[in-house]
Chain A
Amino acid sequence: MKYVFLSLFLVMSALSVAAWWWQPVAENDRIELVWCSDDNPMRREQIALFNQLYPQYRLKLDPQNSTMEKVIVQCLAGVGPDVFDCYSGFQLTAFVRSGIALDSTEALLQRGVDPSAVWPCLRPLVTLDGREYGHPDNAHAPAMWFNKAIFDEAGEPYPPNDWTWTEFIEIAQRLTKRDSRGRPVRFGFIGYWDWQSALAQWGANIYTSEGTRSVLDEPKACQAVQFMQDLIYKHKVMPTPTEEAAMSGSGGWGAGAQGGGIIDLFGAGRGAMAIGGRWWLCLLRNETYSKLRLGAVELPRGPSRRVFGGGRSTLVNAKSHNIEGALCFLEYLHSQPWNDLINEQADALAPVKKYNYTEGFLYNPEHPEEDYNAVWRSALENAEPMQVSAYVNGQTVDRILVEQLDMVKANVKPATRAMRDAARKINEAIVEQLRLDPELREQYYAAVKRGARPAWDREEDAP
């Protein structure tokens, strides 16, 4: 027995040496920078270009920790990345308040970065109370993709740029096909169930402009979400959650929303139209989708012409050991090589406005079939920043919204009731958050004093 013990111990020690040796090798000739971002096939080239432009650094991607909470905890624990991505104004607030985002206002100025040169809808991703904390990576606003192959086959003319949602439904119904058992072969409309775009188009909001109260229970918002529900159950041009899960392989809940499953379905010709962004090309240029012929038009005209735009920005970890290198990365995000690369790769659109107004952007010689780049640009021109509230935890809001929207999407609850409940729960979460956090409470009351609508109706519910 003891020999077994001892020899196992030796074996494991040897394996430990092997494990040590199997770690990714850190090369010492360059300073290593870690960038926490989502994994995307385009990152490799984006990183290679940085390493070529700044030979003193070696940039590395850390793809699995891009959720905000993980970044914050890891930065506070001292194992954080040097630069990390930020996806919304709410996240920026959280990063700044937890003290891990570096205020780089002066450093950026010194490096000749002009913060006002980026798309306006990206400003909330980097600016808070007049200070600059990073630089946007790309810009995105939604428009309508369509598959020309399906339109041609059905003899349907391509949608015009100024169409209405009523026309959209008619076209989508004509393009939806089912087999004799009633199983769907193809949908007129597929893709993300983009209720936020509907919200924007109906002129509704998630929050009041100061983010002090959720107004999802207002009639316009309910109508917008009801419209999205009707696409599935009344007009039957969009898959039900079950049909979607059935098509996208493993069939679990949420499987479609992860890992580009939905984009894959669109690419495979299971739907004629989809609301999406230019970044879909990152996946759809792949040769597996050779039968796909893409077109894009602006979203149909709703009661309002608004769209929500957004993107990603990169911030600097205040505890990074390579702040100089991290700032070089921000400088890189502002430079022409990066912006041109983003446009070329179609990782959405370049964050700096002027690089989207070139011939090279409109007509990419390597992809002559992509004749719709002007559509994405004009979508961005109309885009407003995505709405967030600084007064409530974004994850909590997500959980509330996912649950309520799940029920709308599964047709077990009418949109009006779901939105009323969502608004009520979000407002409760705001009050809850304010009770916990005195600093936030002070800011909130200052906003209320300026005339913002509070999250409570009765005075005794105030925190």
Chain B
Amino acid sequence: MSITDTRKGQWWFRRGRFYTSHALLFLFALTTLFPFTWMVLASFKPLSEIRQTNPLPSEWHPENYTDVLNSKDISFKKYYFNSVFVAAWVTLLTCFTSSLAAYAFARMCWPGRDAVFKLYLATMMVPGVVTMIPNYTLMVQLHLLDSYLGLIVPASFSAFGTFLLRQFMLTISPSLDEAATMDGASHWRIYWDIILPLARPGLIVLSIFTFMGNYGSFFWPLVLIKSEHLRTLPIGMLYFDSIYGRQTNLIMAASVMNIVPLIVLFVVMQRHLVRGIQLGAVKG
């Protein structure tokens, strides 16, 4: 790739750098993996071995996991469902509303377009807490405290998503929809049949970001949700952590279960993600 050393004859130099690089990478990888490994191993230990220094459990206890899932005090399965359910709805709605708006910004001409777009961009800088407080009082007024709707609706209109998809749509050649317009296709047809399929990579990236963000969302459910059966995983984890105090092995089992879906999603999607992050950072 870019930094290649073409000086010939200095094999020792290249060798040296090769080994240093690998050693450094390996060291970093170890540091990255160490907490995860400890977590997984601890989740299989009996409680008495958490305090001991042996890295491997003397006897593996997969029942820690079933203990968490079948716990009387918390309904972990329901938290799982709630998190995935809320995150999936938000993702779907965000993709839909954002792609519509992005189409209007990227593929249509109308007066005031750039001004509205600048407004969108400007609000992306606003810290979350600024809008959080009025949104909370709004939820109080609308009687949406403690409901799925209160979790889903406010999160479903993303300025960032609109921005990201607009960036993607701008890269699609304008000749396509010109041709379609010639054929008498309506804007809805062009959006639905031409642009949307071509914007697929962008939609995938936006889906991953939105899903991930809402699956792990903490602040909003923390202030909004009061019923046990509506709790999402992060809130459930917090509660679990506070009532199970010393049972570190169960807490670690719960944590593992919490992040497994993310790891799966990540491994499957990681190629798309890399591109998405790099594109999202390009300033519009």
Contacts and interface: CB of A to CB of B under 8 A. Distances in A.
A70 B148 CA distance: 19
Contacts of A73: 140, 145
B248 A250 contact: yes
A259 B92 contact: no
B197 A77 contact: no
Contact of A255 (B96, B148, B228, B245): B245
A23 B229 contact: yes
Contact of B96 (A5, A62, A64): A5
Nearest to B200: A1
Contacts of A39: 73, 243
A19 B96 contact: no
Contacts of B203: 1
Contacts of A24: 229
Interface in A13-67: 15-16, 19, 22-24, 39, 62-65
B78 A64 contact: no
Interface string B231-247: 00000000101111111
Contacts of B193: 2
Interface in B96-145: 96, 140-141, 143, 145
A15 B197 contact: no
A249 interface: yes
Contacts of B197: 1-2
B225 to A, nearest CB: 8
A259 B247 CA distance: 12
A103 B197 CA distance: 64
Contacts of B148: 19
Interface stretch (B20-28, B81-89, B176-184, B256-264): B81-89
B247 A249 contact: yes
A24 B231 CA distance: 13
Contact of A259 (B143, B145, B228, B243): B243
A264 interface: yes
A65 B227 CA distance: 9
Nearest to B248: A249
Contacts of B140: 73, 76-77
Given A64-B228, A74-B145, A8 B92 contact: yes
A290 interface: no
A248 B244 CA distance: 10
Contacts of A23: 229
Given A62-B227, A64-B228, A9 B92 contact: yes
Contact of A70 (B141, B226, B243): B226
B192 interface: yes
B165 interface: no
A5 B88 CA distance: 12
A260 B244 CA distance: 9
A185 interface: no
B246 A248 contact: yes
A258 B228 contact: no
A249 B96 CA distance: 45
Contacts of B248: 249-250
B265 to A, nearest CB: 15
A259 B85 contact: no
A188 interface: no
A73 B143 CA distance: 11
A78 B226 contact: no
Nearest to A71: B226
Contacts of B242: 255, 258-259
Nearest to B141: A77
Contacts of A74: 145-146, 226
A1 to B, nearest CB: 4
Contacts of A22: 78, 81, 229
Contacts of B82: 19
B143 A78 contact: yes
B206 interface: no
Nearest to B47: A249
A12 interface: yes
B145 A79 contact: yes
Contact of A64 (B89, B95, B192, B226): B226
A22 B200 CA distance: 34
B85 A249 contact: no
B229 A248 contact: no
B246 A249 contact: yes
Given A79-B145, A79-B146, A261 B245 contact: yes
B120 to A, nearest CB: 23
B246 A264 contact: yes
Given A8-B92, A39-B243, A259-B244, 14 more contacts: A1-B197, A2-B192, A9-B92, A12-B88, A15-B88, A16-B85, A16-B89, A23-B229, A24-B229, A76-B140, A78-B143, A79-B143, A250-B245, A259-B242
17 contacts: A1-B197, A5-B196, A12-B89, A15-B88, A16-B85, A16-B89, A22-B78, A22-B81, A22-B229, A62-B226, A63-B228, A74-B145, A76-B140, A77-B140, A258-B242, A259-B243, A259-B244
Interface of B: 73, 78, 81-82, 85, 88-89, 92, 95-96, 140-141, 143, 145-146, 148, 192-193, 196-197, 200, 203, 226-229, 239, 241-248, 251
- 6 closest A-B pairs by beta carbon, nearest first, are A249-B246, A1-B197, A261-B245, A77-B140, A259-B243, A258-B242
